[in-house]
A and B are shown apart, each in its own frame.
Chain A
């Protein structure tokens, strides 16, 4: 069995154990309506994590996407409040946020600034700018009547929630782009060895910029869904995306040894399922964060099966 397979099996066993535990603890856990609910929740983490996956693939870190998503959601709510329709509001905000993502990409890719510090800086600044829309107050005006809430409540063919549809669509497109198209190769090449990528004729700065734009866009889409669910424009809604998105990407890396679209999905799935299960068991949120984080570390250790076994072997021999 290859390393990846071993990790995957160990990981799936772990996931099955969690599912079993929740099923035994709550009779509501294994029901269709709960799963639809869980999938809706999953889609938010999963979409944000997917964007981040591109940045990690090009070998950089994005610490700004959650803040950017706050700006995008507030911009959207603002456009709605002054009377624009939902479609225009969404697209206009995405356009704004894409240009901010491009700014990240230019600073890091073209000018070679350090990614962590730069994105913490741009993220904080953009979060500050987001206050301009309402001075930090909720934006209610027109929100419920505008139809924007369909982004969360709507259903395709009357059954599949729109957030799930958006998630599936974005994952499918990203999978095509990163794993099936020739462009995907370039993302990985840039992330692995920028110098070798440049000598292979790849425009390194361009790929870095594209990755940061995608990260900003996807996080913003995720947060727009989140805000529509809440029925008002709230500035802090996107802030909580940071930890689960990074965790999802990293769970994926620990299974497949590199950032992948499918790995990121599995990571996001695991985190959401745990959050959902603990909510059903009415575990207080602060315990929940604690347990989710612990389980996460546990899963990463399990997924790194080879590391553990060589370590044990060494102990035994020494």
Chain B
């Protein structure tokens, strides 16, 4: 291997009750793209937060460009040329895109008057943006941007840094669709061309072979091996088994053979320019998968079915009864539950316990005469912790301190706890490792025995894998509605990307 851009050795990081990094080693060669893999809670984010100067280490040594250094803050990290895009980037929703880009730079200036040249930064941001395959209106407040655009702002924030030598991306594609991810890969290739070394964290094994030169697997806070990303030597399954340290069984459960009673339907539902005349029927024992790009209207469709948006026209019917939903609370009363796609903003309450979050949507389940019964709460939560293998498994642990994938599992657990009749899962496995994905798909399949279930994802493969019926939405209209066994994955993709016209 050529000259090392980064070497970490014997890094240990303890959190109260958790050994997040246990004598971990890591090496990054100059100019390589290095994928960092591991199951949820393996210590990936902790390792990169050490590099970013957010986590201090208990012991260990770090060399950047061959020089031993102590990274004792985010400022030091930036001085070393380390740019980080976090798993859950902190942004100020009411600030514009530009301001959020600048935030990171301002905080890294020294001196009494840390003035920055905003004009120059704006220019730099625009330059970088020009190379971006997507167009973002940086004058808009963050709260008005789509997930991909927000991710773009987070990446821009890292890229406006002068003298980047190491770029770290923590699950950047988790909320991106295929095509958007591809544009990201192009950017990565361009950065690599400029001699930047890149650490890339992902749970999508295919991406490992697309973008990376080498990959390293973490397990229990330790490096268990670094390998060449060579398709001919390792299959997805091999990589998955390296991560799990165990045999891997098939990730998707079997398809359903029969269809049960109809439970839920939407008829000719429309909402402004978002979607028009959407009709879908939901039955027991039939998982409906909905695929559509960001901006295709699926997000609004979910929110309409959950009572958060009011349809302009159309009818929602629950178990044969027409309903008019005025709020999410109404929808929950009718037995409908949405597990939202953006877990940080919509899914969980930060700095509260796992139990608090899991039971929040069905508090009567844990209370008597209005008072919470701690024992019932604990047992109910433990059951779901066990079912979804949430780790660490303390029902009273702070949800904000769980790893990203485990937070997602807790948000799923919250949905399961409501025991609703109609489930809408938006991006149910974002940030979840392969093993846990199989677990979640299994759980959804079990639910579908007695419930109407719908899985919405920007990952067409996921929709295709889990669903018995596939619905594709393009520009607010249903362009495909068929049994999954009767269409091919490519067919579904083509419909989602171009509405079924084959000139993609």
Sorting the interface of chain B by its residue count into under 10, 10 to 19, 20 to 34 or 35 or more gives 20 to 34
Q: Which of A182, A192, A196, A202 contacts B329 (CB 8 A)?
A: A202
CB of B73 within 8 A of CB of A2, answer: no
Q: Which of B346, B352, B371 contacts A192 (CB 8 A)?
A: B352
Q: Which of A182, A196, A200, A257 contacts B372 (CB 8 A)?
A: A182
Contacts A2-B16, A200-B361, A203-B329; A195 near B345 (Cβ below 8 A):
yes
**Of residues 347 to 385 in B, which have CB atoms within 8 Å of A's CB atoms?**
347-352, 356, 360-361, 363-364, 366-367, 370-372
Sorting the interface of chain A by its residue count into under 10, 10 to 19, 20 to 34 or 35 or more gives 20 to 34
Q: Which residues of A contact B363 (CB under 8 A)?
A: 182, 185-186
Question: Is B65 engaged at the interface, CB distance under 8 Å to the other chain?
Answer: no
Question: Is A188 engaged at the interface, CB distance under 8 Å to the other chain?
Answer: yes
Q: A181 CA to B363 CA in the complex, in Å?
A: 10
Measured CB to CB, the nearest residue on chain A to B356 is A185
Q: Which residues of A contact B349 (CB under 8 A)?
A: 188-189, 192-193, 196-197, 200
CB of B72 within 8 A of CB of A314, answer: yes
Q: Which residues of B contact A317 (CB under 8 A)?
A: 70, 72
CB of B370 within 8 A of CB of A183, answer: yes
CB of A185 within 8 A of CB of B360, answer: yes
Measured CB to CB, the nearest residue on chain A to B350 is A192
CB of A185 within 8 A of CB of B372, answer: yes
Contact indicator per residue, chain A 75-97, by CB within 8 Å of chain B (1) or not (0): 00000000000000000000000
Q: Which residues of B contact A182 (CB under 8 A)?
A: 363-364, 366-367, 370-372
Q: Which residues of B contact A186 (CB under 8 A)?
A: 363
Q: Which residues of B contact A188 (CB under 8 A)?
A: 349, 352
Q: Which residues of A contact B348 (CB under 8 A)?
A: 193, 196
Q: Which residues of A contact B346 (CB under 8 A)?
A: 195-196, 199
Contacts A181-B367, A181-B372, A203-B329; A318 near B72 (Cβ below 8 A):
yes
Q: Which residues of B contact A284 (CB under 8 A)?
A: none
Binding site for A on B (CB under 8 A): 16, 56, 70, 72-73, 306, 308, 327-329, 331-332, 338, 340, 345-352, 356, 360-361, 363-364, 366-367, 370-372, 414
15 contacts between A and B (CB under 8 A): A2-B16, A180-B372, A181-B371, A182-B364, A185-B360, A185-B363, A186-B363, A192-B352, A195-B346, A198-B308, A203-B329, A257-B351, A314-B72, A314-B73, A317-B70
Known contacts A201-B329, A203-B329; 14 additional CB pairs below 8 A are: A181-B367, A181-B371, A189-B352, A192-B350, A192-B351, A192-B352, A193-B349, A193-B350, A195-B346, A196-B345, A198-B308, A200-B360, A200-B361, A313-B56
